[in-house]
Chain A
């Protein structure tokens, strides 16, 4: 019996009312190239056969020594995080419309908002968004709405923004009449105040500034924030939450602090899981709260004067504000946000600082080991780094990634995937999980690979 209670007659009646001849007509808007091919599923198999097959597929991603970052990071996740998140109360909770039936979920979100606001140095946080990239798109739309320049439609993007975030942002905002303008990178891999000043005009609503940036370099956030804000722009900070334990939080950038902060919560207890799902965080100044997208939970008192939690400022949202809502997204990434909250609660400020410090120390050890090899150099030696950096290799980075795959080492991300001219550049990362022995294994393997690849090109 089908679970969808539409008879053929029902469907025909609805199609007739819509003036469509088939259900496929309703999807005309979607270009052919974006349509999924029919799934080529085999005949059903037993549970045992399926489990063995899937375990074999999953093992292709397992036991790889990972020095790749570029937006997803291989941190240690305390066992308690997912043991707690897997409880039914968290696992099956739906969006908490009914405050009287959802106090636990609402309080969890409230605690999350409080923690992430404190970590970023901001006044308000929403209940999370899908991921860092979609969060940036929401922040861009929010900045244009909040800008005192009513006609401004341009976002300035520091050249060190993650290209995947840029692509996600562009996919969403291009249809809202916004323009993204890329600023050049200086020789040290960061944005210079001169380059920012040169790009300023009356159509600019905001500057998007990542810290650390995609190339692992630390930007001069105080000076850049001041230059942008003095020119009437809002500043959108894109940050790594672990790095915030040791770097100045965006709320304290420059004289006035960033206006909106977004980032991906994956480093906070979320497994890399071949690319997702993750969660995004979005924080802002109190004065911008009515322009924020998404759910926001507030703390209040009930009729008996007891503390209670409820969704608040809902007049921003779609179910009330319809087409004029601040976003078409009326939900949050509840389960992953809960994992992030438990992770932050388990580690505390001191634990986060130790993780961040350990990452930074291991990156220094990694860079020292790699640059000891002939022809391997830091691409941006003048820049300061957190746990990621670019190295220039004597051979194409893509070839190194492929050669080391045979040794179950993921040496980093070949930047030619993002910028064709960066053929020899490899973006490497070290988290607290990369031991000195791991680094030595990588160094030795890279030495062998470079020797054989160099021998191939110089007979």
Chain B
């Protein structure tokens, strides 16, 4: 059973969202996603200041056996990216909810947070995938 922290929000394509105290959000991929991908060898991140709409491609995560697009769960402006993944992409495997984060957004519409999945709903998505 993969780790699905209760305090985070999710989308069905296996990205997680954490609402920070300053109103920005941090985005990464879930424990379930990193487990399915296998050893991550490369992460392509969005550029700072890029404006994204919910559902846009925001990067690529590449493992020894697959490459998957990363989608932004929410609309907003990219204000930070985790550049340590360039040299240490394995952090996505070892600490998907911590050092393995991908990027931070300044939200365009905080109301979109309501549309995300909570931990229970996301667990059902994972169960349905087997």
Which A residues form the contact surface with B (CB < 8 A)?
A: 290, 315-316, 320-321, 324
Q: A315-B63, A320-B65, A324-B69 are in contact. List 5 more A-B contacts (CB 8 A).
A: A290-B42, A290-B44, A315-B42, A316-B67, A320-B66
Cβ of A320: which chain B residues have Cβ within 8 Å of it?
65-67
Q: What 1/0 flags go to B59-99 for Cβ under 8 Å of A?
A: 00011011101000000000000000000000000000000
Q: Name B66's closest neighbour in chain A (CB-CB).
A: A320
Q: Name A316's closest neighbour in chain B (CB-CB).
A: B67
Q: Name A150's closest neighbour in chain B (CB-CB).
A: B47
Cβ of A315: which chain B residues have Cβ within 8 Å of it?
42, 62-63, 66-67
Top 7 A-B pairs ranked by shortest CB distance? A315-B67, A315-B62, A321-B67, A320-B67, A320-B66, A315-B66, A290-B42
Q: Is the interface of B mostly helix, strand, loop or mixed?
A: strand
Looking at A290, A315, A320, A324, which has the most chain B CB atoms within 10 Å of its CB?
A: A315
Cβ of A321: which chain B residues have Cβ within 8 Å of it?
67
Q: Tell me how far the C-beta of A335 lies from the nearest C-beta in chain B, rounded to whole angstroms.
A: 29
Q: Name B47's closest neighbour in chain A (CB-CB).
A: A150
CA distance A399 to B42 in the complex (A): 60
Q: Name A148's closest neighbour in chain B (CB-CB).
A: B47
Looking at B65, B66, B67, which has the most chain A CB atoms within 10 Å of its CB?
A: B67
Q: Tell me how far the C-beta of A170 lies from the nearest C-beta in chain B, rounded to whole angstroms.
A: 29
Q: Tell me how far the C-beta of B129 lies from the nearest C-beta in chain A, rounded to whole angstroms.
A: 19
Cβ of B66: which chain A residues have Cβ within 8 Å of it?
315, 320
CA distance A324 to B62 in the complex (A): 13
Q: Tell me how far the C-beta of B59 lies from the nearest C-beta in chain A, rounded to whole angstroms.
A: 12
Q: Tell me how far the C-beta of A406 lies from the nearest C-beta in chain B, rounded to whole angstroms.
A: 60
Q: Tell me how far the C-beta of B37 lies from the nearest C-beta in chain A, rounded to whole angstroms.
A: 11
CA distance A316 to B62 in the complex (A): 9
CA distance A186 to B69 in the complex (A): 47
Q: Name B65's closest neighbour in chain A (CB-CB).
A: A320
Q: Tell me how far the C-beta of A419 lies from the nearest C-beta in chain B, rounded to whole angstroms.
A: 43
CA distance A320 to B69 in the complex (A): 12
Q: Tell me how far the C-beta of A313 lies from the nearest C-beta in chain B, rounded to whole angstroms.
A: 9
CA distance A137 to B63 in the complex (A): 28
Cβ of A324: which chain B residues have Cβ within 8 Å of it?
69
> Can you identify 13 A-B contacts, CB atoms within 8 angstroms?
A290-B42, A290-B44, A315-B42, A315-B62, A315-B63, A315-B66, A315-B67, A316-B67, A320-B65, A320-B66, A320-B67, A321-B67, A324-B69
Q: Tell me how far the C-beta of B25 lies from the nearest C-beta in chain A, rounded to whole angstroms.
A: 24
Cβ of B63: which chain A residues have Cβ within 8 Å of it?
315
CA distance A320 to B65 in the complex (A): 8
CA distance A290 to B44 in the complex (A): 10
CA distance A320 to B62 in the complex (A): 10
CA distance A290 to B45 in the complex (A): 14
CA distance A316 to B44 in the complex (A): 13
Q: Tell me how far the C-beta of B36 lies from the nearest C-beta in chain A, rounded to whole angstroms.
A: 14
Q: Name B63's closest neighbour in chain A (CB-CB).
A: A315
Cβ of B69: which chain A residues have Cβ within 8 Å of it?
324
CA distance A38 to B54 in the complex (A): 54
CA distance A290 to B62 in the complex (A): 11
Cβ of B65: which chain A residues have Cβ within 8 Å of it?
320
CA distance A22 to B63 in the complex (A): 43
Cβ of A290: which chain B residues have Cβ within 8 Å of it?
42, 44
Cβ of B42: which chain A residues have Cβ within 8 Å of it?
290, 315
Q: Tell me how far the C-beta of A225 lies from the nearest C-beta in chain B, rounded to whole angstroms.
A: 26
CA distance A324 to B69 in the complex (A): 10
CA distance A320 to B41 in the complex (A): 15
Q: Tell me how far the C-beta of A97 lies from the nearest C-beta in chain B, rounded to whole angstroms.
A: 13
CA distance A321 to B66 in the complex (A): 8
Q: Tell me how far the C-beta of B54 lies from the nearest C-beta in chain A, rounded to whole angstroms.
A: 20
CA distance A324 to B44 in the complex (A): 14
CA distance A320 to B63 in the complex (A): 11
CA distance A320 to B67 in the complex (A): 7
CA distance A320 to B42 in the complex (A): 15
B residues 1-52 in Cβ contact with A at 8 Å: 42, 44
CA distance A250 to B44 in the complex (A): 28
CA distance A97 to B69 in the complex (A): 24
Q: Tell me how far the C-beta of A167 lies from the nearest C-beta in chain B, rounded to whole angstroms.
A: 33
Cβ of A316: which chain B residues have Cβ within 8 Å of it?
67
Q: Name B42's closest neighbour in chain A (CB-CB).
A: A290
Q: Tell me how far the C-beta of A291 lies from the nearest C-beta in chain B, rounded to whole angstroms.
A: 11
Q: Tell me how far the C-beta of A365 lies from the nearest C-beta in chain B, rounded to whole angstroms.
A: 53
Q: Tell me how far the C-beta of B33 lies from the nearest C-beta in chain A, rounded to whole angstroms.
A: 15
CA distance A315 to B62 in the complex (A): 7
CA distance A315 to B66 in the complex (A): 6
Q: Tell me how far the C-beta of B49 lies from the nearest C-beta in chain A, rounded to whole angstroms.
A: 13
Q: Tell me how far the C-beta of A156 lies from the nearest C-beta in chain B, rounded to whole angstroms.
A: 25
CA distance A320 to B37 in the complex (A): 12
CA distance A321 to B68 in the complex (A): 8
Q: Name A321's closest neighbour in chain B (CB-CB).
A: B67
Q: Tell me how far the C-beta of B101 lies from the nearest C-beta in chain A, rounded to whole angstroms.
A: 21
Q: Tell me how far the C-beta of B23 lies from the nearest C-beta in chain A, rounded to whole angstroms.
A: 29
CA distance A186 to B42 in the complex (A): 45
Q: Tell me how far the C-beta of A152 lies from the nearest C-beta in chain B, rounded to whole angstroms.
A: 15
CA distance A386 to B62 in the complex (A): 44
Q: Name A315's closest neighbour in chain B (CB-CB).
A: B67
Q: Name A322's closest neighbour in chain B (CB-CB).
A: B67
CA distance A321 to B65 in the complex (A): 11
CA distance A320 to B64 in the complex (A): 11
Cβ of B67: which chain A residues have Cβ within 8 Å of it?
315-316, 320-321
